[in-house]
Structure 1
Amino acid sequence: MKFLSLFSVSLAVTACRSTPSPQKSAKIDVHAHFVPDFYAKALKEAGMYLAHMACPILPNGMLSFLKEIDYLFKQLNPKPDGIVMMSNYYGLYLGDRDLEPIYDALNELNVTIFEHLTTPCTQFNKMRFDIDKTAPSISQQQWQALNSPVAVRQFAAPTLDFPFETARTFADLFYTSMPTKFPNLKWIMSHAGGGLIPTLDRIVTYSALYPGLNLTEDSMKQTLSKSFYFDLPDLGLIVWGSDTVFTPMSSAAKYAAAFDKDVEEGFPDRRKANAIRATNARGLFD
């Protein structure tokens, strides 16, 4: 809390985790439930404005996810300002129709969803490690190795895999019409949309392969302006954050200082600079 106060942080995303099977996720379920309670208590004691987002664990099953949503938004005080969902859960991407009960519950609550990147999933490994079936024990490092391209030089998933993973799950959402089916949801997409800018026209063009789907450039723009937030749109939608606590505090402090310097240089107008630092992000949760 001292670190967050020092840098006037407005939003904390905590307990973000992707696990490969019900067996593995059962071991951390207590942790996932503890963290929202811990942050709610810490926020009360600190008496400061700090948005917080919860990270329910999907591999425990849809029912447990729905129960967690009910707990987070109807019992926890203060309730979270949104939730985090990974870009895929063992190959179950965010446009999967099995997620509709979850989106329906979140839509009723007008929830903001932050899409957090994880390793892509190949079709072969999706068949091997089904989210709803017994799966062999496997570490996160092994999972990344199984799903990465040849890793001679690009051994770190954030190098290229993560930006294109955002585009992949974004396309998946639109190919099943989730954003228009659940219009009260707001989506925060990482890394300026990742690989979306050079691929958006392809997403629209190849939507013709899906029977009954009629994506157009105009319809996409309309939905994007209403329900999606990136870190590179017009001024009123620019938001920024770091990976703290995944990123060490010392590194995060350097990033925050560098970001402040860039904002001051790029936006001499203090009102605009403050909007990028905090005001825009707060507007996500009004």
Structure 2
Amino acid sequence: MDSYKIDVHAHFLTPSYLDALKKAGHVPGPDNLPFTPDWSPETHLAFMEKNNIAKSFLSITGPGTHLIPGDDAFAREVTREVNEFAAAVKRRYPAKFGFFASLPLPDIEGALAEIDYVLDELNADGFVLMTNFHGMYFGDARLAAVYAKLQARKATVFVHPMTPCGPTHEHTAELTPQRKRDVLPLGDTFIVGMMEYFFDTTRTIIDLLLSGTASAHPDIKFIIPHCGNALPSVLDRALLLSASHLRHFNAPPVRGPLIELTPADVRELFSRQFYFDLAGTPMASLIHHMLSDVPFNSWAAAEGQARDIEEGLSELFREEEKEGIYHGNAERLFGEK
């Protein structure tokens, strides 16, 4: 039998969250998925048993919990409901489930209050942050207070992609999910998760790195989904064109300030603060964990990908390295052992 696994990319849904998605226009599914899957703790436990997953860390997927631009009160209500629900699941099955709490960003004050509440009262294992908050990306200076608190709490942040969004969208209440997609190239052809999820994760992680945000908060751990997305392809170019190179080439000003990072700097940051998951893809070049992305990746599809991953890992890694990928790295990150 395969080694047991710890899954940190697994999602849950609540009846109230489904109602909130409909209210915000995410129909028939979030981020223009053609469906919204069914989910229950019992179904998830059966999947875990069948696939030798010892523990799953649950989170809300895109579009997160701040669903209507400008409506902070609704976002706080939705956020608290899903966090309370996840905490109850963890209390009921403490050996089987952990959870990453949602935050109502870009509502900074609401997020600051929720960080303390979920850590002190709900025993959250970390936080899930969408790749943008109605156009506010990870390097945005307005997030300084949030990062300061996450740093003080030595938090783990699980990153999850969502529909890309421009900076003018933050407080435009009439901006519907469909109108967000209308501005995407090929947005009327492909579902957002096919390409835009990968691009938006890459975009926000580059912003996190070159804004200096990651290096300024060394006690925050980041879990990056989908094996780093397009990051391996564009990272060298991003480093080449960082602050000192922009000056050297006399390029026009950009939103900043940016910092200069060398490949060695990034390798050090990655080794200290970053983990890369393998949800939804058989790529193996950056693996730190084995993850499922259920139920949005169907239970059957996740099982098939697990078999593909096992075959790939056996070709690329020694047995002790596979143990780290399946569970050892996660156990060290969360103090499970």
Alignment TM class, shorter chain as reference: 0.7 to 0.9
Match of 2:182 in 1: 146
Alpha carbons of structure 1 residues 211 and 32: separation in structure 2 relative to 1, 3 Å? closer
- Amino acid aligned to 2:102: C
What are the residue-to-residue correspondences of 1:207-286 with 2, within 5 Å?
207=242, 208=244, 209=246, 213-231=259-277, 238-260=288-310, 262-263=312-313, 269=319, 271-286=320-335
Cα distance in structure 1, aligned partners of 2:236 and 2:312 = 31
Cα distance in structure 2, aligned partners of 1:277 and 1:165 = 26
Check the 8 A contact 1:120/1:161 in 2, yes or no.
yes
- Amino acid aligned to 1:54: A
What CA deviation, in whole Å up to 9, does each residue of 1:79-106 have, x standing for no partner?
1111111111121100101111001001
Which structure 2 residue ranges, 5 or more long, are not aligned? 1-40, 247-255
What are the residue-to-residue correspondences of 1:26-45 with 2, within 5 Å?
26-27=73-74, 29-45=76-92
- Amino acid aligned to 2:174: P
Match of 1:168 in 2: 203
Cα distance in structure 2, aligned partners of 1:205 and 1:63 = 36
1:178 aligns with 2:223: no
Cα distance in structure 2, aligned partners of 1:109 and 1:176 = 21
Check the 8 A contact 1:239/1:280 in 2, yes or no.
yes
1:90 aligns with 2:134: yes
Check the 8 A contact 2:131/2:137 in 1, yes or no.
yes
Check the 8 A contact 2:89/2:97 in 1, yes or no.
no
What are the residue-to-residue correspondences of 1:200-211 with 2, within 5 Å?
200-207=235-242, 208=244, 209=246
Cα distance in structure 2, aligned partners of 1:223 and 1:252 = 30
What are the residue-to-residue correspondences of 1:13-32 with 2, within 5 Å?
13-16=58-61, 17-18=63-64, 19-23=67-71, 26-27=73-74, 29-32=76-79
Alpha carbons of structure 1 residues 89 and 147: separation in structure 2 relative to 1, 3 Å? farther
What are the residue-to-residue correspondences of 1:55-204 with 2, within 5 Å?
55-59=102-106, 61-76=107-122, 79-122=123-166, 126-127=167-168, 129-130=169-170, 133=171, 135-136=173-174, 138=176, 140-143=177-180, 145-151=181-187, 155-204=190-239
Cα distance in structure 2, aligned partners of 1:236 and 1:216 = 19
What CA deviation, in whole Å up to 9, does each residue of 1:134-192 have, x standing for no partner?
52151x3432x223113465x12222222222221111112220011111001111222
Cα distance in structure 2, aligned partners of 1:187 and 1:231 = 11
1:10 aligns with 2:48: no
What secondary structure sits across from 1:240 in the alignment? coil
Cα distance in structure 2, aligned partners of 1:179 and 1:5 = 33
User: How far is the alpha carbon of 1:246 from its aligned partner?
Assistant: 2.4
User: How far is the alpha carbon of 1:28 from its aligned partner?
Assistant: 5.4
Which TM-score applies when normalising by structure 2? 0.71
Which structure 1 residue ranges, 5 or more long, are not aligned? none
Alpha carbons of structure 1 residues 9 and 121: separation in structure 2 relative to 1, 3 Å? farther
Check the 8 A contact 1:82/1:112 in 2, yes or no.
yes
- Amino acid aligned to 2:302: A
What secondary structure sits across from 2:334 in the alignment? coil
- Amino acid aligned to 1:21: P
Cα distance in structure 2, aligned partners of 1:33 and 1:211 = 34
Check the 8 A contact 1:14/1:35 in 2, yes or no.
no
Q: How many positions carry a matched residue from both structures?
A: 272
Which TM-score applies when normalising by structure 1? 0.83
Check the 8 A contact 1:51/1:81 in 2, yes or no.
yes
Check the 8 A contact 1:244/1:252 in 2, yes or no.
yes
What secondary structure sits across from 2:204 in the alignment? helix
Check the 8 A contact 1:54/1:83 in 2, yes or no.
yes
What secondary structure sits across from 1:90 in the alignment? coil
- Amino acid aligned to 2:151: N
Displacement over 4 Å in runs of 4+? 232-237, 260-268
User: How far is the alpha carbon of 1:32 from its aligned partner?
Assistant: 2.5
Bigger helix fraction: 1
Check the 8 A contact 1:65/1:102 in 2, yes or no.
yes
Check the 8 A contact 2:220/2:273 in 1, yes or no.
yes
Cα distance in structure 2, aligned partners of 1:30 and 1:169 = 26
